């Protein structure tokens, strides 16, 4: 009886030990799963936070250009250019034409730019005091009265393109951008033509 009791006790201890081992394993597994879930949730939350920050950054970046574009140059309303043309030349030339202001407000063309030239200026032609004519920069720009016009012509006011990047030949086209006093711009595409006139000299001191 004593031996049988001992065997039974030993079996019971073994059974209890096995149950304890199984329970411990189950708890360890649950703990690992829980930690993994917590880690996954934490990673997900962090990723979500990063995405939100990234989204906020994108919005901020997109807002900045929007603000900038509001202050940047925009197409002028009610200002048109007609009969525009450019003289065929190798080093410097001029843009001519008629600029019409159909608005109720007077405007002034304050500058001009072109990818075809290294320098572009607004010029007027004046007497040089010895019977000839000289071109010089018109620093106050070209005034455009309300519902009025301004004519750019050989021997008069014109847009001067200097340091041409290449020879302009008859049949070519040149793009020039005129900027007004309110920051708006007028894009002009002018054909290049042969012209024997407009041989005035340029006064370099007016650069």
Whether residues 125 and 25 fall in one domain? no
Last residue of a domain, one of 40, 72, 104: 72
- Which pLDDT value is given to residue 178? 98
- Which residues sit opposite 87 in a β-bridge? 193
Whether residues 118 and 31 fall in one domain? no
- Which pLDDT value is given to residue 42? 41
Nearby residues of 40 by Cβ (< 8 Å), 6 or more positions away: none
- Which pLDDT value is given to residue 18? 52
Whether residues 90 and 136 fall in one domain? yes
- Which residues sit opposite 100 in a β-bridge? 80, 149
Give the position of tokens 């012509």.
Answer: 153
- Which pLDDT value is given to residue 198? 57
37 backbone dihedrals φ, ψ, rounded to 5° = -65, -45
162-193 per-position pLDDT tens digit: 999 999 999 999 999 999 999 999 999 999 99
Residue 165's CATH number: 2.60.40.1890
Whether residues 40 and 99 fall in one domain? no
* Distance from C-alpha of 22 to C-alpha of 19, rounded to nearest angstrom: 5
The token pair at 159 is 């847009």
Residue-range definition of the domain harbouring residue 139: 79-206
Whether residues 125 and 190 fall in one domain? yes
Whether residues 53 and 143 fall in one domain? no
- Which pLDDT value is given to residue 31? 44
Whether residues 183 and 121 fall in one domain? yes
71-129 per-position pLDDT tens digit: 456 999 999 999 999 999 999 999 999 999 999 999 999 999 999 999 999 999 988 88
Last residue of a domain, one of 25, 44, 72: 72
- Which residues sit opposite 50 in a β-bridge? none
Last residue of a domain, one of 24, 40, 72: 72
Name the domain count of the chain: 2
Please say if the pLDDT value at position 199 is more than 50.
yes
Please say if the pLDDT value at position 205 is more than 50.
no
50-76 per-position pLDDT tens digit: 333 333 333 333 233 333 333 456 999
Distance of alpha carbon 41 from the chain centroid: 41
Whether residues 104 and 153 fall in one domain? yes
- Which pLDDT value is given to residue 44? 38
5-45 per-position pLDDT tens digit: 555 555 555 555 555 555 444 444 444 444 444 444 443 33
Whether residues 23 and 62 fall in one domain? yes
- Which pLDDT value is given to residue 177? 98
Whether residues 85 and 179 fall in one domain? yes
Question: Which has more pLDDT, 130 or 145?
Answer: 145
């Amino acid at each position: 009886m004593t031996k049988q009791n001992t065997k039974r006790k030993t079996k019971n201890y073994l059974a209890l030990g096995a149950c304890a081992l199984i329970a411990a394993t189950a708890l360890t597994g649950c703990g690992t799963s829980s930690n993994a879930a917590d880690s996954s949730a934490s990673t997900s939350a962090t990723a979500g936070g990063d995405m939100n920050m990234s989204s906020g950054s994108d919005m901020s970046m997109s807002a900045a250009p929007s603000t900038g574009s509001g202050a940047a140059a925009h197409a002028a309303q009610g200002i048109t250019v007609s009969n525009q043309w450019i003289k065929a030349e190798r080093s410097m030339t001029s843009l001519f034409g008629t600029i019409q202001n159909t608005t109720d407000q007077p405007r002034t063309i304050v500058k001009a730019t072109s990818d075809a030239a290294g320098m572009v200026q607004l010029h007027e032609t004046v007497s040089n005091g010895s019977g000839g004519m000289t071109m010089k920069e018109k620093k106050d720009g070209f005034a455009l009265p309300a519902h009025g016009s301004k004519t750019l012509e050989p021997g008069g006011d014109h847009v001067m393109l200097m340091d041409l990047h290449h020879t302009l030949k008859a049949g070519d086209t040149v793009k020039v951008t005129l900027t007004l006093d309110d920051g708006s711009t007028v894009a002009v595409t002018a054909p290049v033509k042969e012209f024997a006139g407009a041989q005035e000299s340029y006064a370099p001191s007016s650069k």
